[in-house]
Amino acid sequence: MSKHTILFACGHIADAEVEGSEYEKKQKLIYLKICGRCPDCEKKYRENRGATSGEDR
Ligand SMILES: [Zn+2]
């Protein structure tokens, strides 16, 4: 696992941990930059969903 400081799609900068091969890590970082949420926004997003469904996924 390696840590990267990236600018998420939500507009915030945070650390993201990615694992896998060099190629997989690259793909995950690209994904996070395009449509990922920083940990804060991800948490808020989950809380909002949890309020209605009560399920995490
Ligand atoms: Zn954010």
| Maximum separation of any 2 CA atoms in the chain, in Å | 38
Residue 50 banded pLDDT, cuts 50, 70, 90:
confident
Residue 2 banded pLDDT, cuts 50, 70, 90:
confident
9 touches 41 (CB < 8 A): no
**Distance, CA 11 to ligand 1 centroid (Å)?**
6
**Distance, CA 47 to ligand 1 centroid (Å)?**
14
* Domain extent at residue 27: 2-53
**Distance, CA 39 to ligand 1 centroid (Å)?**
7
Q: How many CA atoms lie within 13 A of 52 on its CB side?
A: 6
Q: Read off the pLDDT of residues 6-20 as tens digits, 9 standing for 90 and up.
A: 999 999 999 999 999
Q: Read off the pLDDT of residues 14-39 as tens digits, 9 standing for 90 and up.
A: 999 999 999 999 999 999 999 999 99
3-class state of residue 2 by DSSP: strand
Ligand 1 (single-atom ion) residues, CB below 5 Å: 10, 12, 38, 41
Q: How far apart are CA 8 and CA 51, in angstroms?
A: 24
Q: Where is pLDDT greater, at 1 or 3? A: 3
C-alpha triplet 26, 32, 38: angle, nearest 5°:
135
Please state the domain count of the chain: 1
